[in-house]
Structure 1
């Protein structure tokens, strides 16, 4: 039986078609699908495959699919089978969608991407996760030419830093800390984009002269203490992600959600305590698992800890703390983790990463595990 790693390697490589895993097509998959505006390669593949992350294998006969700008709304895709019985999704060039104005040929910005960019764009372009050392070393806003607590368009800001003349800088606000739930280590700080400014007067910090910048755009209020980064640093917007499983077993946790709610679902953004230090990459597909609750089997029969007596809970916690066997009249059962969903990593920092939930059987929560076995 092939491991998930082997399956992922074969599914993403056209060099070994003879030994690749067989793709499982859903029973209700259509024979033909017409691409709609807002579709993604991932979403289309999810219509056909039980394991959507294997989508590159489904598109293998389309040599041009690696360039998402060649697939457009209005294109027709047909499900076929090759000589070996392997399913393939191919572009039906004979299909033409008619309108009162003639043939529709969508181009340019309407090209289909791998993931829904409208959902992840704010976290690719307006969100950073930086450690304290990175933030502390950056130039920051001292004040403005107007004595107000928040600054807006065309205001002049004075910055504690020797900035380059005429260069544009993005302004960020330092937000909440992302903390490891097991060690309490601060992994990174959320940095939210506030606006863009351009330098029109150089400063000389050694002589107490700040740099002067003019605000050119505003996304949120700019405050004293907000820090600056060169424009576009960390703001890349890739349209294509190479979906694959990690090469080694991993276990991390969901440590935060983008919208600060308690439970979240498909197409929501979460933060993981996994990053480049754990060899996480954009495009990695991970399972989401949840720890099943333990059970204390005592004199009154099996019960969850919250339903057990104080004595049973005391015996259980004391035994666990001391590494002892539970009381002969009380057995503590540790249950396994169960899969509750899947996610795709799309932005990676040293110790944290942002991920998009692509599938869930139950609401996802902070504390759920992100794993590859």
Structure 2
């Protein structure tokens, strides 16, 4: 049987040419690992490598796998070294013979995925980032057959817009805008899924007759003004991502969190001010960097600006404007940026994207830089 993790891996290997240096395996990496239900490509990659997207290199020149496809729960992966000292992962066929109960899940649709879908599914199925101008043109809820401000399962909705009979529509609530931290530009508007309804009567907008839908499912209460989109639009859920670095340099920022918190950690989802306009794709791996704080060095010694006196800050500002001649005793040091984590983009719009944090050395914050140099 051929082994899903690997169609991905071979596709990835094309994006990462063979390197001259031997791959560095973690010191605590196991000689054998049995794939468990719930594992992902990223999980297993992180067991063996500090740079998980280089994992396909471990499968090059593997004589045991002619046309590898997928890896399943129950497969045993063995770490070996070739004649040149290069580490390789192979499927341990002896494990299958010695442990007939090792395959805990039948092969078929249960192959492990690239990323933990249970973590990102809510943001694929229930979150959209939509242009505000587009929302204005979409059908929206006028009211219902019950004179209440919120509607629920079984209610009939009346909608402004010409809808197709028998077609299902997803209902979204318009949330806060996603804005660029530096320019203040509105990049997109957050739209949260609230329910599903099916049209059973067409309307006539010109004559003031609404379309009618029956609510089939509800995630939260439907309100007047909520807008509608075709049911599956923007809700496709890819199981496998072509994980790779962007071909060109890119730089943006973490601008928001769907959970509306300001600090994040591994497996949290964040929003970036990067999208198709910046050639961002699902599967792109980006570094997270943070600007180190500025230091003012003067007669009282080096200090952070917030710890400096107003006079020192004034002299420092003058020094920056007019040069060192205006203040030879105070020097402003602009410190470098330092890497604080990594993330993978999984959902992309024109000007924003959703990404999953896969590694962090410090809590990730709004304003941290998403970058490839």
The answer to whether TM tops 0.5 is yes
Aligned to 1:177: 177
Which moved further from structure 2: 161-170 or 74-83? 74-83
Matches within 5 A, 1:206-245: 206-245=206-245
Match of 1:331 in 2: 331
Query: Which structure 2 residues correspond to residues 1-373 of structure 1 after superposition, within 5 A?
Result: 12-13=13-14, 17=18, 19=19, 22-60=22-60, 61=62, 62=65, 65=68, 67=69, 70-96=70-96, 97-98=99-100, 104-320=104-320, 322=321, 324-325=323-324, 327-373=327-373
TM-aligned CA distance change 1:103 to 1:186, over 3 Å: closer
Unaligned segments of structure 2, at least 5 residues:
1-9
TM-score with structure 2 setting the length:
0.91
Structure 2 Cα separation of the partners of residues 42 and 64 of structure 1: 21
The residue matched to 2:93 in structure 1 has which SS?
Answer: coil
Decide whether the 8 Å contact of 2:25 with 2:87 is kept in 1: yes
Contact 2:176 2:189 in 1 (8 A): yes
Relative distance call for 1:107 and 1:138 in structure 2 (3 A) is same
1:5 matched residue in structure 2: none
- Taking the aligned partners of 1:285 and 1:59, their CA distance within structure 2 comes to 20
Q: CA deviation at 1:108?
A: 4.3
CA RMSD, Structure 1 to Structure 2 (Å): 2.1
In structure 2, relative to structure 1, the CA distance for the partners of 1:103 and 1:171 (3 Å cut) is closer
Distance 1:103 1:276 in 2: 41
Partner of 1:4: none
Listed one character per residue, the Cα deviations across residues 181-235 of structure 1 (whole Å, up to 9, x for unaligned) are: 0000011111011111100001111111111011111111111111111011000
Q: Tell me how far 1:55 sits from its aligned partner.
A: 2.1
Contact 2:75 2:103 in 1 (8 A): no
Match of 1:3 in 2: none
Q: How has the CA–CA distance of structure 1 residues 368 and 141 changed in structure 2, closer, same or farther, with 3 Å as cutoff? A: same
Retained in 2: the 8 A contact 1:130–1:190? yes
Judging changes above 3 Å, is the alpha-carbon distance between structure 1 residues 135 and 11 closer, same or farther for their aligned structure 2 residues?
A: closer
Relative to structure 1, the CA distance from residue 265 to residue 179 in structure 2 (aligned partners, 3 Å threshold; closer, same or farther) is same
User: For residues 20 and 115 of structure 1, do their structure 2 counterparts lie closer, same or farther at Cα, with a shift above 3 Å needed?
Assistant: farther
CA distance in 1, matches of 2:16, 2:315: 58
Note the C-alpha offset of 1:319.
4.4
Q: CA deviation at 1:22?
A: 3.2
In structure 2, distance between residues paired with 1:145 and 1:159: 12
CA gap of 1:324–1:133, structure 2 versus 1, over 3 A, is farther
1:105 positional shift: 3.8
Cα deviation for residue 63 of structure 1 reads 5.7
- CA distance change for structure 1 residues 318 and 134 in 2, over 3 Å: closer, same or farther? farther
Structure 1, gaps ≥5 residues long: 1-8
Report the CA distance between 1:154 and its aligned residue.
1.1
Q: 1:21 to 1:210 in 2, by over 3 A?
A: farther
The 3 A distance-change label for structure 1 pair 330 and 168 is: same
Q: Figure out how many residues of one structure are paired with residues of the other and give that number.
A: 358
Q: Cα distance 1:295–1:63, how it changes in 2: closer, same or farther (>3 A)?
A: farther
Q: 1:92 to 1:297 in 2, by over 3 A?
A: same
Q: Deviations over 1:63-111 (max 9, x none)?
A: 655x4xx322211111122344322222223323455xx9634344532
